[in-house]
């Protein structure tokens, strides 16, 4: 819980300064050129656990292949997984495909407008629902991702850890300018991604510096520009990515993407440093997630293919 109650949202003058900064410094991301709710939903699904600039490049290709929610709903999971290649976290692709089917079957092909209806869609959580509501429909709701949490938490309380999730969401909702919820959402994300970084924040270039509690606390304590807080424990050595299960799952999917629809691929050899038993275990996990199908007539060498729905 916060040590001090948060009585006021971000004041209007500071909101204006942030929006003015955004008008001149916004990242030129491709999906910001659209107001189509379906296209915005796709972009938000792609940006989960992926840097926005990287997601934007994949988004353009994906929208050419599936320009409407009806086109996506009519595709097979295999079609979607092939277009998703390179983004990772392939379960997001299947969740988006299932969402398209729900929108077509339940909402007459129109992306629902309310936060509650959006959050009921497969794979759509509180952040994505609010982001789509603000960006596509102009609703004054605050989408709180890791960047927004850090920016608002530092401005108002000196640290995002000072606010509980409930307090943070209330602060985010109360701070949204009623006439520009989309620009406000993008502006906080951009400040968090480019200026208000977790380590070595660029406070000198931030439009909120004059009213930011984090900046004031650091200057008062050190007399210098704010510095990132030191970690209480040393960072653990990173595990090589090619030894992880995520890497292995990706390589299995890459192999299956090369096969024509419906064609089985025998999983009969090690992949990188992963022995055959780990390959089979990863394949069974992918099948449980609905990403691939297995034909396990031969337990020693099961056959796999991308899910066909």
Active site residues per annotation: 44
Please count the CA atoms within 13 angstroms of the CA of 212 that sit on its side-chain side.
28
Strands 292-295 and 265-266: unpaired
Are 42 and 56 spatial neighbours (Cβ–Cβ below 8 Å)? no
Q: List C-alpha distances in Å: 131 to 83, 249, 296.
A: 23, 29, 42
What's the CA gap between 199 and 266, in Å, rounded? 46
Residue 259 parent element (H or E): none
Q: Which of 145, 147, 91, 137 is nearest to 115 (CA)?
A: 137
DSSP 3-state of 122? coil
Strands 265-266 and 303-306: antiparallel
Main-chain phi, psi angles of 303, to 5 degrees: -105, 150
Q: Which residue has the tokens 């099961």?
A: 302
């Amino acid at each position: 819980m916060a040590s001090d109650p948060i009585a006021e949202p971000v004041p209007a003058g500071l909101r204006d300064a942030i929006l003015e900064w955004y008008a001149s410094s916004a990242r030129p991301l491709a999906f910001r050129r659209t107001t189509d709710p379906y296209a915005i939903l796709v972009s938000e699904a792609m940006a989960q656990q992926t840097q926005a600039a990287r997601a934007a490049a994949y988004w353009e290709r994906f929208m050419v292949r599936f320009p409407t929610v009806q086109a996506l709903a009519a595709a097979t999971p295999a079609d979607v997984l092939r277009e998703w290649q390179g983004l990772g976290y392939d379960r997001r692709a299947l969740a988006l495909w299932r969402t398209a089917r729900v929108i077509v079957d339940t909402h007459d092909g129109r992306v629902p407008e309310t936060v509650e209806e959006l959050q009921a869609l497969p794979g759509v959580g509180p952040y994505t629902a609010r982001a789509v509501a603000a960006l596509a429909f102009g609703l004054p709701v605050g989408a709180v991702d890791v960047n927004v949490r850090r920016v608002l938490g530092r401005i108002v309380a000196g640290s995002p850890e000072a606010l509980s999730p409930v307090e943070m969401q209330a602060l985010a909702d109360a701070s949204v300018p009623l006439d520009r919820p989309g620009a406000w959402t993008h502006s906080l994300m951009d400040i968090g991604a480019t200026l208000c970084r977790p380590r070595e924040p660029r406070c000198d270039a931030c439009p909120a510096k004059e009213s930011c509690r984090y900046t004031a606390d650091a200057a008062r304590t050190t007399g210098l520009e704010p510095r990132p807080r030191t970690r209480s424990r040393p960072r653990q050595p990173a595990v090589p990515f090619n030894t992880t299960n995520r890497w292995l799952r990706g390589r299995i999917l890459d192999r299956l993407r090369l096969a024509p629809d419906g064609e089985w691929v025998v999983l009969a050899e090690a992949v990188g440093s992963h022995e055959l038993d780990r390959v089979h275990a990863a394949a069974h996990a992918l099948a449980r997630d609905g990403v691939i199908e297995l034909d396990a007539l031969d337990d020693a060498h099961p056959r796999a293919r991308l899910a066909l729905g």
